[in-house]
């Protein structure tokens, strides 16, 4: 029987914390993989206490579809159970500092001997090798070190960090597709398991591909330019009459010509300064002034209607309230509502994407209470009895939460 989801039958052990590793596992879980979340019995994943709230909101969406099986990997019993779980797993995702799992006797050499089909994703800030390998790695640090922050922000302002977990998200996407490549090689081409060295720094650095080649070939240093671009004009955000904002990009000649005609009629559309991309970039100050003045005379709704009427590319600068009210986001299920046992109402979270026509992903439940699947998973996937699991819980090797029968 053909499964409903593409990754049904794949078992993933997620022993990572915070964002990059758990996001990798979330992506796989959205599309059918069984994800066993290994976290500390007392503290859990640090994401449970992330932010200024005690409501575990970040935890709820990043760890959706997962089963919580706490294990203290400092203990012999915790290591033994972990090894047993890996024996039946397809994928392990971890983000401890290099060498940590080896000190706990559950490193790659040990686990690959137990399961030679294992695909092990090792997510760190700087990779398993190199001078920085032992540094603590967080997305914020690599967003700075990668060159991203240096080129982001206003020209006269400071380097600017993104307000979201951008580097972790980029790394998670790279890691997820690396897992699928490794599984394809293993299962289709008769290969073996392998480990994946996924460094947040490198995946974020990869976003700046154009800057790499241009620096080497032309000596270009992409300094901050606000919302402008060194390649495209007009390209900026503009404030409208009602204090809202819109973004436009004239990256193709036809779109640029339509924008010019909208904001200045025939006079601006035929102005010699603006006939080529090179000319528009050279005279970007004058061009932005013309566009900005026109925008300030119209509300955002008026601007969007006029641009859409003339088929000129434009996008409103949405806040989250705008997005929740946007019919396109709604039609595409970009926001979904998931039943949560901790609340009387369903919980909104980002949807599942990309969309597969035959085997779409889905969300069954938000991130679970710590230990809510410990009894079920440990007794099913190892030879330990419910009584043994309860004894291990009293010793702090694991913890049992939720409604679990003996």
Residue 35: what are its φ and ψ, rounded to 5°?
-115, 120
Q: Between 284-295 and 253-269, two packed helices, what is the crossing angle to 10 degrees?
A: 80
Cα 11 from chain centre: 21
Q: Respond yes or no: is residue 168 known to be catalytic.
A: yes
**Dihedral-angle region of residue 15 (phi above 0 means left; psi in -120 to 50 means alpha; beta otherwise):** alpha
- Enumerate the β-bridge partners of residue 189: none
At 199, which helix (H) or strand (E)?
strand 194-199
**Dihedral-angle region of residue 9 (phi above 0 means left; psi in -120 to 50 means alpha; beta otherwise):** left
Residues whose CB falls within 8 Å of the CB of residue 358, separated by 6 or more in sequence, listed in order? none
CA angle 354, 18, 144 (to 5 degrees): 85
At 12, which helix (H) or strand (E)?
strand 11-15
Tokens of 269: 């559309």
Q: How far apart are the first and last CA of the chain?
A: 33
Residue in the structure block whose two tokens are 């720094």: 201
CA torsion through residues 366, 367, 369, 374, sign:
positive
Q: Whole-angstrom Cα distance, residue 36 to residue 48?
A: 16
CB 151 within 8 A of CB 212: no
- CB-count exposure of residue 230 (10 Å: 0-12, 13-18, 19+): middle
Q: Whole-angstrom Cα distance, residue 304 to residue 347?
A: 32
Residue in the structure block whose two tokens are 């495209």: 232
- Catalytic residue chosen out of the listed positions 14, 45, 168, 288: 168
**231-245 in b/e burial notation, b at 16+ Cβ within 10 A?**
ebbbbbebebeeebb
Residue 349: what are its φ and ψ, rounded to 5°?
-155, 165
At 366, which helix (H) or strand (E)?
none
Tell me what percent of the chain is helix, strand and coil, each rounded to the nearest 5. Answer: 40, 10, 45
Residues labelled as active-site residues: 168
């Amino acid at each position: 029987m053909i499964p409903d989801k593409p990754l049904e039958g794949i078992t993933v052990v997620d022993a990572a914390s915070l964002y990059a590793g758990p996001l990798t596992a979330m992506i796989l879980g959205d599309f059918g993989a069984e994800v066993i979340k290994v976290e500390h019995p007392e503290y859990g994943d640090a994401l449970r206490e992330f932010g200024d709230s005690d409501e575990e909101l970040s935890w709820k969406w990043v760890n959706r579809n997962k089963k919580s099986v706490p294990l203290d990997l400092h203990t012999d019993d915790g290591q033994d159970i972990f090894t047993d779980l890996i024996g039946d797993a397809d994928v392990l995702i971890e983000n401890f500092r290099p060498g940590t799992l080896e000190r706990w006797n559950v490193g790659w050499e040990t686990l690959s001997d137990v399961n030679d089909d294992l695909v092990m994703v090792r997510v760190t800030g700087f990779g398993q090798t190199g001078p920085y390998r032992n540094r603590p790695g967080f997305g914020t640090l690599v967003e700075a070190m990668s060159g991203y922050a240096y080129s982001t922000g206003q020209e006269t302002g400071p380097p600017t960090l993104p307000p979201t977990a951008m580097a972790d998200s980029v790394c998670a996407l790279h890691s997820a597709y690396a897992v699928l490549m490794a599984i394809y090689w293993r299962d289709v081409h008769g290969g073996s398991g392998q480990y994946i060295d996924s460094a947040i720094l490198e995946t974020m650095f990869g976003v700046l591909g154009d800057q790499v080649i241009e620096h080497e070939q032309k000596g270009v240093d992409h300094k901050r330019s606000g919302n402008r671009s060194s390649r495209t004009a007009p390209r900026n955000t503009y404030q409208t009459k009602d204090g809202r904002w819109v973004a436009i990009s004239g990256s193709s000649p036809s779109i640029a010509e339509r924008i010019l005609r909208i904001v200045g009629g025939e006079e601006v559309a035929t102005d010699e300064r603006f006939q080529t991309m090179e000319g528009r970039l050279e005279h970007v100050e004058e061009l932005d002034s013309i566009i900005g003045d026109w925008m300030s005379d119209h509300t955002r709704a008026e601007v969007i209607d006029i641009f859409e009427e003339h088929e000129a590319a434009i996008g409103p600068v949405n806040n989250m309230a705008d997005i929740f009210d946007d019919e396109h986001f709604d039609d595409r299920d970009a926001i979904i509502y998931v039943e949560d046992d901790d609340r009387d109402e369903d919980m909104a979270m980002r949807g599942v994407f990309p969309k597969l026509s035959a085997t779409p992903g889905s969300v069954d439940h938000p991130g679970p209470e710590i230990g809510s699947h410990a009894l079920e998973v440990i007794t099913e996937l190892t030879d330990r009895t419910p009584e043994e699991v309860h004894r291990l819980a009293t010793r702090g090797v694991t913890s049992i939460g939720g409604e679990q029968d003996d």
